[in-house]
Amino acid sequence: MFQYDERKLKDQLLELIRLAATDLPKDVVESIQAAHTDEPEGSAAKSVFGMILKNIELARAESTPICQDTGTNIYLVYIPEGVGMRKLTSLIKEATAEAVDKSYLRPNAVDSLTGKNSGNNIGEGQPFIHFEEWDNDFIEFKLMLKGGGCENVSTQYKLPDVGLGAGRDLDGVYKVIVDAVNQAQGLGCAPGILGIGIGGDRAASHLGAKTQLFRKMTDTNSNPDLAVLETKLKGDLNKLGVGPMGFGGNTTVMGVKMGSMHRLPASFFVSISYMCWAYRRHSMTLNIKGEVSYD
């Protein structure tokens, strides 16, 4: 039976939140550095990427949030058989409230009906926690902070889309993704990283899209057709010239990550989860000895 020290785990979760809010992952920073190098001297895009890199450095050095919007806290938690979800949920919530006290997180949970802020980032559906049981003998917590601006330009299409000439195939998927990035322009704090969910019902499709954003920037899709399409989309979207924050430039998206699932014959959804440059995600594993490691 997997056991853990609850008090210690709460502190370890707090550290995961601090890392996610203040320390952009290495693969993301490297992508931003590459985009900075790729812009001509003196251009607005070069200057924007320079400011973004400075911002990242300062946030890490001072342990302060990378962006004022610390986003929706999205957890994927993988547990061995027999580990209770309710206790882990309550520890995550406790760590979340403490992270607000320490100013790692902004109080971001607002009652949709009254407009009242809960004050501690906790509310119905906040933080969002998705559990899955697995065969490993350790727990993994994956955390992503997703800002409101980029969530607002995230979208979902239903194929076929006659207006875009998009049918129920990968060419149709390509067309709606290009349309979504064109519609977003610089909104959503470009350059974006796109998580794409193909198929499922409407809800599963959106969750599938968000789940893609937990992949590393540098990985390759295990599905060869999607791997080709990811590379093609990244190249073609960067020809749009939207650039960082919409100032124009060579990098409009830093990555495209796609996944698919089965669907009803009657439905074909394509969900696009748009992530901003403040692509905050980290993970933590907890083994049976109570040892943690962060990535």
CB nearer to ligand SF4: pick between 67 and 181: 67
If DSSP codes are grouped into helix, strand and coil, which group holds residue 125? coil
Tokens describing residue 263: 């669907």
Q: How far is the CB of 15 from ligand SF4 (least distance, A)?
A: 21
Q: Please tell me the total number of residues recorded for the chain in this structure.
A: 295
Give the sign of the dihedral formed by CA 69, CA 249, CA 230, CA 205. Answer: positive
Residue 94 contacts ligand SF4 per CB under 6 A: no
Span 114-143, contacts to ligand SF4 by CB under 6 A: none
Tokens describing residue 190: 């470009």
Residue 148 contacts ligand SF4 per CB under 6 A: yes
Phi-psi category of residue 224: left, alpha or beta, with phi > 0 → left and psi -120 to 50 → alpha = alpha
Tokens describing residue 52: 């973004």
Q: How far is the CB of 243 from ligand SF4 (least distance, A)?
A: 15
* Residue labelled with tokens 């309550």: 90
CB nearer to ligand SF4: pick between 190 and 233: 190
Residue 71 contacts ligand SF4 per CB under 6 A: yes
Residue 147 contacts ligand SF4 per CB under 6 A: yes
* Cα–Cα distance measured from residue 111 to residue 50, given in angstroms and rounded to the nearest whole number: 37
CB nearer to ligand SF4: pick between 59 and 256: 59
Nearest CA to 19 out of 147, 142, 192, 132 is that of 142
Q: How far is the CB of 55 from ligand SF4 (least distance, A)?
A: 9
Q: How far is the CB of 151 from ligand SF4 (least distance, A)?
A: 8
Q: How far is the CB of 195 from ligand SF4 (least distance, A)?
A: 14
Q: How far is the CB of 33 from ligand SF4 (least distance, A)?
A: 17
Residue 255 contacts ligand SF4 per CB under 6 A: no
CB nearer to ligand SF4: pick between 23 and 94: 23
Among 139, 278, 286, 292, binds ligand SF4 (CB under 6 A): 278
Q: How far is the CB of 98 from ligand SF4 (least distance, A)?
A: 21
Q: Where are the strands (E) in 15-113, listed by range?
A: 72-80
Span 156-195, contacts to ligand SF4 by CB under 6 A: 188-189
Residue 21 contacts ligand SF4 per CB under 6 A: no
Taking CA atoms, 295 is separated from 92, 128, 130, 142, 164, in Å, by 18, 20, 19, 9, 40
Residue 67 contacts ligand SF4 per CB under 6 A: yes
If DSSP codes are grouped into helix, strand and coil, which group holds residue 165? coil
By beta-carbon distance, which residue lies closest to ligand SF4?
A: 147
* Residue labelled with tokens 């203040």: 22
| Strand duo 253-260 + 192-198: pairing | parallel
Residues that bind ligand SF4 (CB under 6 A): 67, 69, 71, 147-150, 188-189, 276, 278
